[in-house]
Amino acid sequence: MAQPLSRRTLLQATALVAAAGAAGAAAGPAAAAVGGAAEASWTVRPFGLGDVALEAGLFADKRELMLDHARGYDENRLLQVFRANAGLDTGGAVAPGGWEGLDGEANGNLRGHYTGHFLTMLAQAYASTGDEVFGAKIRTMVGALEEVRAALRQEPSVLSVPGVFGGRAAGNERGSYRYVELPSGVLGDASAVTLAAWVKPGHEDSWARVFDFGNDTTRYLYLATRNANGVPRFAITTGGAGAEQGLDGLAALPLDRWSHLAVTLADGTGTLYVDGTVVARNPAMSLTPAALGTLAHHWLGRSHYTADPVFAGAFGGFDVWSRALSGDEIAGLQGDRASGDLVSYAFGETSGPGLADGSGRGLDAVLRRTWGGPSHPGFLAAYPETQFILLESMAGSDYTKVWAPYYTAHKILRGLLDAYGATGDERALDLASGMGDWMYSRLSVLPAATLQRMWGIFSSGEFGGIVEAVCDLHDLTGKGEHLALARLFDLDSLIDACAANTDTLDGLHANQHIPVFTGLVRLYDATGEERYLTAAKNFWGMVVPHRMYGIGGTSTAEFWKARDVIAGTLGASTAETCCAYNMLKLSRALFFHEPDPAYLDYYERALYNQVLGSKQDRADAEKPLVTYFIGLTPGHVRDYTPKQGTTCCEGTGMESATKYQDSVYFAAADGSALYVNLYSPSTLTWAEKGITVRQHTGYPREQGSTLTVGGQRQARFALRLRVPGWATAGFRVSVNGRAVPGTPRPGSYFTVSRTWRPGDTVRVSIPFRLRVEQALDDPSVQALFYGPVTLVGRNPATEYLELGLYRNAGLSGDLLPSLAPVPGSPLHFTLAGTEFAPFYEGTEDPTHAYFRRSEPTVVFGGLDSGVANPAGSDGSLLDEVWAAAPFRDKAALVTRVRSVVDAWVADGLVTAADGDRVLATAREASYVR
């Protein structure tokens, strides 16, 4: 049993979860400050979500769509699978489906993961807004999970439901894996028998058993509510399925309504009754219970065929007689209870595992779980522990049997930690601590070789961000076992390769491995082992830019391909949304240790493009409306409801949309500086300094931002303003209307140090330019950017659009003059009959994130020279000319054209006459700046 945590320990450590963890839900009642062991190695630290308020703008609009979903969605639907697994009443709640329910992919082997995501979303929403609706939902979910764990710790208890004749009955929730075990001797040595049961099926499962008495799959007799054709079936055999003597009904039993089933066997004839009426008779049934001999198992609700489902619904009575009742007798059972002489169960109990036999023979039954019960009292899941057990012996992947159980455990653990950070509900931390104790009890006894094999199995061995979460748990509990547990997930082959800067990512499952490295950063915090941090840094550099698409995403059909192959991997299943979510987390974690602007350049790219664009721009009560994959093929239409709406990416999408502000501002660890990482309308409350910083901007529709200092006192610190790597058109800063001297360098931070006073105003101007990014493996395949924003063509064509952009290029090198702005639609342009719009707009338009560059002739300032644009080994003539931009004036451009033309003529790539025409056109043309 988990050891109780002292109040002192909790209060000392509670803020760490939000600061170091993915969710960032820091500023709840139990997390008033950020600090602790995790931060000791940080150069930079974050602010809590409650410290940064989103103001009206793009992010706030997107967030509100998700908050509406969070407010309206019934959390009991998510709790259904947990309650069912524990045998508790689910209150009629219907699980969401998809990956979060028994009817989803792989029999719902991932169920429970989405509940963890939802808890994290609620925690972040509560920390950000203080809206009590989110706090109430968190407390409901935590309380329910506490009840679930308590039920799993105990023997199964009868779920009492209304019965047939006004009495009680024994309910069995679908997904509970519970059945009734009867003692031996139930059938005696009868040569004639009647078996009768009141049942209320709750699902259309095929082959769910009313009863199954036998040894194995060779000698048995059973009654199923539905066979493969959907009708009741009774069978008896001594030679397996192929030798069954059986009876099949005529129609399906109704769901959620009581039905009476009876079977008689006597004198070589079997008869099946439904509600007192004969539905099947077989005069060639020579087998009787006596012919089966002594049987090992006598089960109600469970089959000897392990793939068959456990009966879901309710039992209102089960009786066995040592003779064949007449038709009139069976008809009489419809209106009154009668007790069998061999065994009789009325199922009138209201608690406990025991079920009394009313036959007078004392053959009391007991409620069981097919999987027994947890190996440790801290176990908490929405399915049996069997997935965890099977993983330990698996040699290869089979997600229909085992689908990432530790990944699911991570989501639940993370959600509980975030719930605790946001509300201070100690029940959540106790549940989380128990999960840590349980996992340690399982994994610590396994050989190292077994662990390495497990974590290397695709999908089945995926464990998500569990290392990060367990490190956060250790910060809260101080338990050595929890830190030891985090290290048990080390996948040494991957860590060692990345620590040596050896790229072995080709063929790996992307989202299985990205969160591994965020965990390694946290392990470095906890242990100081440089190997962990080095591996994480090197890994990041293997993805950015070598496996990164223009929108910031990575992976193709969930996997990585060879390094630097971008155009060659574009498809309908590129850029899994979870990958972007986890790359943002990793970039953020690395920045805390080394504030390299490249991490935040990537952060801005992925956040403003893929992450924002992954959320559809409409609200929905049932679905979060978030993409799984984002296809980057020409004409792709985003799917915002993949796989019924409960995939991993919709889970992380819910989280992303409720923590947009988590990286807008950071502080130097010693409080000496404030980093402004993102230009986003927001207000920072920096309690340590006693000030606020309000950022007013329409960015990215506005090319700059205004920051105003507020508060009641002065504060001295360095204001570090990120200069985006793409900001080649200038970056200007003024304080209180006066220009700040200096030359900001793209891809750096520009620092303004002073004593700040309330009312001080900082204006940042960041002119945008239209630019392209070439695919690393095919320079002709390009993505279009305006400032931080990817512009996508809205066009139903399924072939690459062929576009030219040099025609009206400005002296600055800006390609924007080749596009026509759409009046009244910021950041919308047209080119060659196609509208281009920001990727972040969550529409269902067919889009082109990449196009093929086509510059067939040499054109300057709209004048066509009539000369074909020749290509060399490193690009075309025009590429070489414009690579020298910006140009001071027209004369500088003409000088560049002359130099390039002379070189190409000398190399025999352009004739002298064509060269003269190119130069003359450059001189004659007019250019914008």
Query: Both 332 and 260 in a single domain?
Result: yes
Segment 766-780 mean pLDDT: 95
pLDDT of residue 739 exceeding 60: yes
Among residues of the chain, what percentage have pLDDT more than 90?
92
Query: d(Cα 630, Cα 354) in Å, to the nearest integer?
Result: 53
Instruction: Report helix, strand or coil for 43.
Output: coil
For residues 301 and 169, the answer to whether their CB atoms sit within 8 Å is no
Query: Both 280 and 428 in a single domain?
Result: no
pLDDT at residue number 36: 52
pLDDT of residue 459 exceeding 50: yes
Query: d(Cα 656, Cα 609) in Å, to the nearest integer?
Result: 13
What does the pLDDT look like over 353-380, one tens digit per residue? 999 999 999 999 999 999 999 999 999 9
Query: Both 310 and 420 in a single domain?
Result: no
Query: Both 511 and 525 in a single domain?
Result: yes
Give the closest residue to 219 by CA, choosing from 267, 187, 175.
Answer: 187
Give the closest residue to 318 by CA, choosing from 291, 337, 294.
Answer: 337
Domain count, the chain: 5
DSSP-assigned letters across all residues of 244-296: -EEEE-SSPPPTTS-EEEEEEEETTEEEEEETTEEEEEETT----HHHH-S-S
Instruction: Output b/e per residue, 183-206; b: 16+ Cβ within 10 A.
Output: eeebbeebebbbbbbbbbbbbebe
Final residue before a domain boundary, out of 803, 831, 853 = 853
Structure-model confidence comparison of residues 829 and 104, the more confident one: 829
Final residue before a domain boundary, out of 853, 878, 907 = 853
**DSSP-assigned beta bridge partners for residue 368:** 179
Residue 890: how many other CB atoms lie within 10 Å: 16
Residue 393: how many other CB atoms lie within 10 Å: 10
The answer to whether residue 23 sits within a structural domain is yes
pLDDT of residue 20 exceeding 60: no
DSSP 506: T
Helical pair 912-924 and 890-906, crossing angle rounded to 10 deg: 170
pLDDT at residue number 37: 58
> Picking from 712-726, 733-747, 859-873, which range would have the lowest pLDDT averaged per residue?
859-873
Query: Both 272 and 209 in a single domain?
Result: yes
pLDDT at residue number 142: 98
For residues 313 and 261, the answer to whether their CB atoms sit within 8 Å is no
Query: Both 439 and 455 in a single domain?
Result: yes
Query: Both 100 and 187 in a single domain?
Result: no
- We report the CATH number of the domain holding residue 422 as 1.50.10
Residue type, 492: D
The answer to whether residue 240 sits within a structural domain is yes
Query: d(Cα 302, Cα 268) in Å, to the nearest integer?
Result: 27
Query: Both 186 and 240 in a single domain?
Result: yes
Continuous H helices in 424-559: 426-443, 448-455, 466-477, 480-487, 492-499, 510-527, 530-543
- We report the CATH number of the domain holding residue 349 as 2.60.120.200
The answer to whether residue 157 sits within a structural domain is no
The answer to whether residue 28 sits within a structural domain is yes
Query: Both 568 and 673 in a single domain?
Result: no
| Range of the structural domain that residue 736 is part of | 665-699+704-765
Final residue before a domain boundary, out of 822, 853, 884 = 853
What does the pLDDT look like over 904-920, one tens digit per residue? 999 999 999 999 999 99
Query: Both 229 and 253 in a single domain?
Result: yes
For residues 272 and 260, the answer to whether their CB atoms sit within 8 Å is no
What does the pLDDT look like over 843-854, one tens digit per residue? 999 999 999 999
Using pLDDT thresholds of 50, 70 and 90, give the confidence band for residue 14. very low
Using pLDDT thresholds of 50, 70 and 90, give the confidence band for residue 40. confident
Q: How many residues does the chain have?
A: 929
Whole-model pTM: value is 0.94
Using pLDDT thresholds of 50, 70 and 90, give the confidence band for residue 929. confident
Segment 97-102 mean pLDDT: 90
- We report the CATH number of the domain holding residue 757 as 2.60.40
pLDDT at residue number 41: 85
The answer to whether residue 65 sits within a structural domain is yes
The answer to whether residue 168 sits within a structural domain is no
Q: What is the mean pLDDT of the chain?
A: 94
Residue 742: how many other CB atoms lie within 10 Å: 12
Query: Both 440 and 586 in a single domain?
Result: yes
For residue 886, whether the previous peptide bond is cis, meaning omega lies within 30 degrees of 0, is yes
Query: Both 454 and 597 in a single domain?
Result: yes
For residues 238 and 287, the answer to whether their CB atoms sit within 8 Å is yes
Give the closest residue to 117 by CA, choosing from 661, 663, 648, 659.
Answer: 648
pLDDT of residue 13 exceeding 80: no
